[in-house]
Structure 1
Amino acid sequence: MKKERVKLTAAEKSELFAEGVITVILLLLLNLSVVILINLTILQNKNLVNGIYFLKRTITFAGGRHLWSWQNTFIIFMGVGDLIVLYWRLIRRYHQMQLRHVISELHYIAKGHFDHTISFKVKTDLQKVIDSINSLVDSTVNAINEEKAIEKSKDELISNVSHDIRTPLTSIIGYLGLLKSGVSDPADQQKYLNIAYMKAEQMKSLAHDLLEYTTLKSTSTKLNLSSLHIFSMLEQVAAGFEFEGQEKGIVFNIEARPKNLTIEADAEKLVRVYNNLITNALKYGTGATQINLIANLVNNNEVELRVENNGAQIPADSLKKIFERFYRVEGSRNTQTGGTGLGLSITKSIVDLHHGKIRCESDQDWTRFIICLPLNLKSEQNPGAAVV
């Protein structure tokens, strides 16, 4: 937005005009007094008068023109001086008015309008003060918005946790109530016990994920860095899901370029990232037949890790929200898939701790989770975590 100069009020314009008129009157009186005093001084000194006439007779210009009289010359100098004084006084008063406007804006901000910025500009050093005030206002607004976002986030977290705990807890109480009331059929008893146990496991999983999520968000979280041979780690991770993959008809493909690629990372946390992404692919990648675990050395400073599956496409409007806590893509909320809605949030938090970035791409053929990590984390400055 283009800033305009200070707009003076009608009263200020009148004040500025009056300042100019008074200054002109005072200068005219001063000039008149000076001329009278000089005239009296010269007339009382005959030698000075004779010297002036002699100087005028001896100094001539082409065409026989003589010098102006000393009165005309002096009046011109006084006129120039008067203009300088008039300009100085008007500019000085105008700057005072600008300062009053700035002070007025500060009082307005101090009354609680912390999102208000000073919209006009000046051509003096006062502009630096205005810029500093606007920067302070912007910082304050950002801090307030962040605080509101944190409070909203806390409220949403409490609401989501309460809902996700209440749902299985209600089921547990209901089925235990049926058992308490006396169910004679052993098959029904076993069925109710199995359901109650499954719901209890869901609550345990939610509590575990929630604890891990809050721990990762803590600024005191430490990374236990070690040198990881990526290909070997991917083989071990894939082996842990081999049985489940066979049941679903899914084949794991592992690739690392170069094959001896190693990075500095927290092994336990990076394995958790892969576990979350593979679990996500197995649960929600409907129709998938392949899961690819790929690691590529991008350059001397960065490595790219990919987890791909050729299952169902993730809707485009869900890609930007997929890493938000408790967010689930439409169609994935059912009792068969389970899940707490925290897995991808935990994944992103771990990647952030490693000073990396994660994104998701999905089309009709492949869904890809792409992670970019620094090759040597020890040389990176990571303000969000302590490295040990």
Structure 2
Amino acid sequence: MENNNVAKSSRITLTSKEKSELIIEGFITIIILLLLNIAIASVSKLLIDDSLTIQNLIFGIKEVLVKTFFSNSFYSLKKFVFFIMLVIDVLIVYWRLIRRYRQMQLRHIITELHFIADGNYNHRIPFELSGDLGKVIDSVNGLVDSTVEAIEEERRIEKSKDELITNISHDIRTPLTSVIGFLGLIEQNKFSSEEELFRYSHTAYTKAQQMKVLVDDLFEYTKVRQSSAPVSLSIFDLNQLLNQLTADFEIEATNHGYSIAVDSKEKSIIIEADPEKLVRLFNNLISNALKYGVGGSKIILESYTNEGNAIITVKNNGQPIPKEALAQLFERFYRVEESRSKATGGSGLGLAIAESIVLLHNGAIRASSNDEWTSFTITIPLKQSSGHV
């Protein structure tokens, strides 16, 4: 849903009915005040005529006020009292009209709220008022913005879930069809030799392994995507971990025509992190380099520290990644090549898992590629915050 903020008007425009209400309100108030003034004047005259003390007090106050603010022409008790009562009456009429006007403003705001509540989430209360009503309008508009954003986020999550299910179904269905097909041939004895039987069972086993890789990656992806995913922190030497990884991948790299090595600017890098998750992170990056770095011969793991962070770059000199693909690399199920070929096929979750692991460590990962190197650079704090465990 698109969020369109309506331009605010300077004030609320009253309807003809509301203007009439204000006029009637003022007229009634004036009549009531006139009657009240007459009553007060009558009662006051009786009290003053009967009390010399009250007369002296009133004349003393009047004399001070007249000498300070007025000319001698006002030196009349009746004129003085009339002036004071007139000021009070004007203030009361003004207060009553403003109070009713505020009530009308509130009524307009409530009408706008009902309109929004009926599902018109693109609408905003268009009035710009001062005081508490202005704060209420700003708060309501802000609340509607937050609600719309939450609805959009929920829709994005639902769409993301649907896409996840669609992609998983697509990736599982193909190998599952092969498994069922070859096992069906075996079940129906549709093989002519033991060699053919072995080929059928081996193909079914290979396809089942592909399904297991996908399920394992999916499980890992959903696990590390949770912001509350457990992180088992320990302190270790990052360079030792990288050296162990290169040793583990040495044979596989050689089979792919690659050499793999660690190039560190420092003898040791002591880091606080989850070693198991970092192993998964670098396994994914190295496996990707071997899978997609067509025509390359080197995989290098560079490491150094900078401003309290460990900087690790996994790079290969294979075929570069197109610029338009770099921004989408960390999206789940995204592959640079359009086909899901058997040679490079995988779950498509490797880099998405890698990014999630980095984020769990409060770090960042970025990709770059040119004719010389395709690089994945990871930045992870050497020490994790005490609240992130």
Structure 2 length-normalised TM = 0.81
Q: Report what 1:307 is aligned to.
A: 314
Alpha-carbon deviations, 1:216-242, whole Å to 9, x = none? 235663222221211111111112222
Q: Report what 2:253 is aligned to.
A: 245
Counterpart Cα distance in 2 of 1:98 and 1:144: 30
* 1:155 is the counterpart of 2:152: no
Aligned AA (1:202) = Q
Counterpart Cα distance in 1 of 2:156 and 2:299: 37
Aligned AA (2:312) = L
Shift in alpha-carbon separation, 1:104–1:187, aligned structure 2, 3 A? same
1:234 is aligned, of 238, 242, 256, to 242
Counterpart Cα distance in 2 of 1:280 and 1:108: 54
1:322-337 aligned within 5 A: 322-331=329-338, 333-337=340-344
- Quote how far apart the aligned CAs of 1:113 are: 5.1
Shift in alpha-carbon separation, 1:186–1:69, aligned structure 2, 3 A? same
Q: Detail structure 1 runs of 4+ shifted over 6 Å in the superposition.
A: 32-45
Structure 1 length-normalised TM = 0.81
Identity value in percent: 49
- Quote how far apart the aligned CAs of 1:33 are: 6.6
2:295 is paired with a residue of what secondary structure?
coil
- Quote how far apart the aligned CAs of 1:109 are: 4.5
Counterpart Cα distance in 1 of 2:108 and 2:323: 50
1:52-131 aligned within 5 A: 66-70=72-76, 71-111=78-118, 117-131=124-138
Counterpart Cα distance in 1 of 2:140 and 2:289: 51
Range with greater deviation from structure 2 (124-133 or 87-96)? 124-133
Q: Report what 2:176 is aligned to.
A: 169
Counterpart Cα distance in 1 of 2:102 and 2:145: 26
Alpha-carbon deviations, 1:62-96, whole Å to 9, x = none? xxx84335355444434433332222111111111
Shift in alpha-carbon separation, 1:148–1:74, aligned structure 2, 3 A? same
1:182 is aligned, of 185, 190, 205, to 190
Alpha-carbon deviations, 1:114-157, whole Å to 9, x = none? 66543434322234444443444344334333333333232222
What are structure 2's unaligned runs of at least 5 residues? none
Range with greater deviation from structure 2 (242-251 or 340-349)? 242-251
- Quote how far apart the aligned CAs of 1:188 are: 5.1
1:358 is paired with a residue of what secondary structure?
strand
Shift in alpha-carbon separation, 1:42–1:178, aligned structure 2, 3 A? closer
Q: Report what 1:6 is aligned to.
A: 12
Counterpart Cα distance in 2 of 1:14 and 1:364: 79
Contact kept, 8 Å, 1:325 with 1:345, in 2: the verdict is: yes
What are structure 1's unaligned runs of at least 5 residues? none
- Quote how far apart the aligned CAs of 1:40 are: 9.2
Shift in alpha-carbon separation, 1:380–1:328, aligned structure 2, 3 A? farther
1:360 is paired with a residue of what secondary structure?
strand
Q: Report what 2:21 is aligned to.
A: 15
Q: Report what 2:148 is aligned to.
A: 141
RMSD: 3.6
Q: Report what 2:277 is aligned to.
A: 269
Q: Report what 2:298 is aligned to.
A: 290
Range with greater deviation from structure 2 (186-195 or 76-85)? 186-195
Contact kept, 8 Å, 1:284 with 1:332, in 2: the verdict is: no
- Quote how far apart the aligned CAs of 1:35 are: 6.7
2:73 is paired with a residue of what secondary structure?
coil
Range with greater deviation from structure 2 (34-43 or 189-198)? 34-43
1:194-233 aligned within 5 A: 194-218=202-226, 221-233=229-241
- Quote how far apart the aligned CAs of 1:371 are: 1.7
Contact kept, 8 Å, 1:325 with 1:342, in 2: the verdict is: yes
Contact kept, 8 Å, 1:231 with 1:261, in 2: the verdict is: yes
Shift in alpha-carbon separation, 1:140–1:66, aligned structure 2, 3 A? closer
- Quote how far apart the aligned CAs of 1:32 are: 6.4
Shift in alpha-carbon separation, 1:158–1:75, aligned structure 2, 3 A? same
Range with greater deviation from structure 2 (31-40 or 271-280)? 31-40
1:18-37 aligned within 5 A: 18-27=24-33
